[in-house]
């Protein structure tokens, strides 16, 4: 291991101290003095011996699913809505399975076949001129998409929905298995034969609905009817899956585990809200949506924003940002996969802030929320470090004077220091000390908060702290 590799991330966040006590913010030091400080400290560290190895700082626990027992802990007035929601979810999954097995029986199919593997979000063409969506190729793809719509009205992820129509007895979901699964892995499905059957993960469902809307607009007369019907079924699916508190799960009907949480990860909930925001406007590609559904979409957005405001993490009385997922009932940050900890998340939080900044008439709470998030994003940017590949070892975080800003994917709540999870559920404060498999198989740093801060610089001039357009 080289000197640079030993640095990890300890000490690179603003107001963050570590073994080398590196506070390398450009606002504090000139480029020359920062570079000089780096090498002086490196020299000091290696003159006195190697940097002490970081200890495991915690263990990640599995997320709790939504259950009747947990609902029973809520205030009495809140329980009926949640009980009805869970009941509807259970009934819908039962209906979905009943449809599938009846189909197999009707066609005398003994064993179901898997759906074709692929990336539904990337393969569905979304950038053609408007007229293209009325042409035969677009209609063929739209028919394939409709064939994979679940009885509940949603779609799965990871399935090629541009090739061939779903055949009778073919599964609605693809092979979403993980190579490194163990018996203690949070990704282990509750039911391997019924997994992600209806989800918002990876752009699923929202992408299909946007494609169908394009086809409806480009089609004339009765030819648009099946695509319009499919769109409305998908819209109703989004309404049905919204939690009583305004959030959305990753998968619906619920399948247990971390998928039952309010899911900001990979912008799942934001993708839903952005689509509903467009529907509520009733313009452009969504002008065909009737008034009643547009009004329902507007109400769903209002409730979704309320959920966003309530899930913003508060530390020592100050609002900060959000976790990738929050428990549906407690609204607290909650784990997801083994290496995804309750934490403050730079990337998802920046997208949430961008979404809120798009509100045309933000109230005082939205304005305060955005300002708080921007302050945190500004505070936690990292300078003078970069991810680099080191031969067979793959990615390492190394000192890189002048580099940045970048943001860690996860920050420890309370200390704002970057943290990193491993496949065995251990939590570390140094990316270089997690397993090679997780170090190279996950995105631990990103630059997306910079876009949010750029937008914020303009937005804040129109919406200073304490202002509102009530």
> Would residue 65 count as lying in a domain?
no
Please state the φ and ψ torsions of residue 201, each to the nearest 5 degrees: -70, 145
* Omega within 30 of 0 (cis) for the link into 405: yes
C-alpha–C-alpha distance, residues 439 and 462, integer Å: 41
Q: Does 416 lie in the same domain as 280? A: no
> Would residue 332 count as lying in a domain?
no
Question: What does R_g of the chain's alpha carbons equal in angstroms?
Answer: 24
| Catalytic (active site) residue 202 | yes
| Catalytic (active site) residue 180 | no
Q: Does 97 lie in the same domain as 50? A: no
> Would residue 336 count as lying in a domain?
no
Domain CATH code at residue 172: 1.50.10.20
Number of compact structural domains in the chain: 2
Q: Does 424 lie in the same domain as 299? A: no
Residue 399: which H helix or E strand, with range? strand 395-399
The pTM score is: 0.87
Q: Does 159 lie in the same domain as 119? A: yes
Residue span of the structural domain in which 15 resides = 4-60+365-462
Q: Does 97 lie in the same domain as 18? A: no
C-alpha–C-alpha distance, residues 451 and 459, integer Å: 12
Q: Does 96 lie in the same domain as 21? A: no
Q: Does 455 lie in the same domain as 437? A: yes
In the listed set 271, 288, 309, which residue is the last one of a domain according to the structure? 309
Per-residue tens of pLDDT for the chain, all 470 residues: 433 434 444 444 443 333 222 222 333 323 323 333 322 222 222 222 333 445 799 999 999 999 999 999 999 999 999 999 999 999 999 999 999 999 999 999 999 998 998 865 678 999 999 999 999 999 999 999 999 999 999 999 999 999 999 999 999 988 655 666 677 788 877 887 898 999 999 999 999 999 999 999 999 889 999 999 999 999 999 999 999 999 999 999 999 999 999 999 999 999 999 999 999 999 999 999 999 999 999 999 999 999 999 999 999 999 999 999 999 999 999 999 999 999 999 999 999 999 999 999 999 999 999 999 999 999 999 999 999 988 888 899 999 999 999 999 999 999 999 999 999 999 999 999 999 999 999 999 999 999 999 999 999 999 998 765 44
Axis crossing angle, helix 364-379 with helix 291-311, rounded to the nearest 10: 50
Active-site option among 202, 217, 338, 432: 202
Sign of CA dihedral 151, 155, 158, 162: positive
Active-site option among 10, 166, 337, 417: 337
Q: What is the DSSP letter of 109?
A: -
Q: What is the DSSP letter of 251?
A: B
């Amino acid at each position: 291991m080289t000197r640079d590799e030993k640095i990890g991330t300890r000490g690179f966040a603003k107001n963050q101290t570590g073994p080398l006590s590196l506070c390398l913010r450009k606002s504090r030091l000139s480029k020359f003095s920062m570079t000089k400080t780096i090498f002086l400290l490196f020299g000091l560290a290696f003159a006195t011996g190697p940097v002490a190895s970081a200890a495991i700082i915690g263990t990640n626990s599995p997320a709790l699913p939504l259950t009747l027992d947990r609902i029973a802990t809520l205030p009495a007035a809140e329980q009926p809505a949640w009980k009805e929601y869970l009941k509807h979810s259970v009934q819908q999954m039962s209906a979905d399975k009943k449809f599938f097995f009846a189909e197999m029986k009707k066609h005398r199919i003994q064993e179901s076949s898997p759906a074709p593997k692929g990336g539904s979000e990337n393969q569905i063409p979304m950038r053609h001129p408007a007229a293209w969506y009325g042409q035969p190729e677009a209609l063929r793809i739209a028919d394939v998409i409709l064939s994979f719509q679940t009885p509940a009205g949603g779609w799965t992820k990871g399935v090629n929905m541009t090739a061939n129509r779903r055949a009778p007895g073919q599964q609605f979901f693809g092979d979403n298995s993980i190579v490194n699964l163990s018996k203690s892995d949070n990704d282990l499905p509750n039911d391997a034969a019924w997994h992600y059957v209806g989800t918002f993960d990876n752009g699923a469902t929202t992408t299909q609905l946007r494609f169908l809307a394009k086809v409806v607009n480009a089609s004339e007369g009765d030819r648009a009817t099946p695509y319009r019907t499919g769109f409305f079924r998908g819209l109703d699916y989004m309404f049905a899956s919204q939690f009583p508190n305004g959030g959305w799960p990753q998968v619906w009907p619920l399948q247990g585990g971390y998928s039952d949480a309010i899911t900001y990860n990979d912008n799942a909930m934001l993708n839903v809200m952005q689509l509903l925001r467009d529907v509520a406007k009733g313009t452009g590609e969504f002008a065909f949506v009737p008034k009643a559904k547009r009004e329902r979409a507007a109400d769903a957005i209002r409730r979704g924003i309320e959920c966003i405001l309530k899930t913003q993490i508060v530390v020592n009385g100050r609002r900060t940002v959000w976790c990738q997922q929050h428990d549906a009932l407690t609204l607290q940050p909650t784990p997801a996969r083994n290496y995804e900890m309750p934490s403050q998340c730079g990337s998802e939080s920046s997208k949430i802030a961008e979404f809120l900044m798009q509100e045309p008439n933000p109230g005082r709470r939205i304005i305060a929320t955005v300002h708080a998030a921007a302050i945190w994003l500004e505070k936690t940017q990292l300078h003078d470090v970069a991810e680099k590949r080191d031969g067979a070892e793959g990615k390492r975080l190394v000192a890189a004077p002048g580099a940045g800003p970048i943001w860690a994917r996860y920050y420890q709540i309370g200390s704002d220091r970057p943290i990193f999870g491993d496949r065995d559920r251990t939590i570390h404060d140094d990316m270089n000390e997690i397993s090679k498999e997780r170090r190279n198989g996950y995105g631990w740093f990103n630059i997306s908060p910079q876009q949010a801060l750029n937008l914020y610089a303009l937005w804040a001039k129109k919406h200073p702290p304490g202002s509102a357009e009530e």
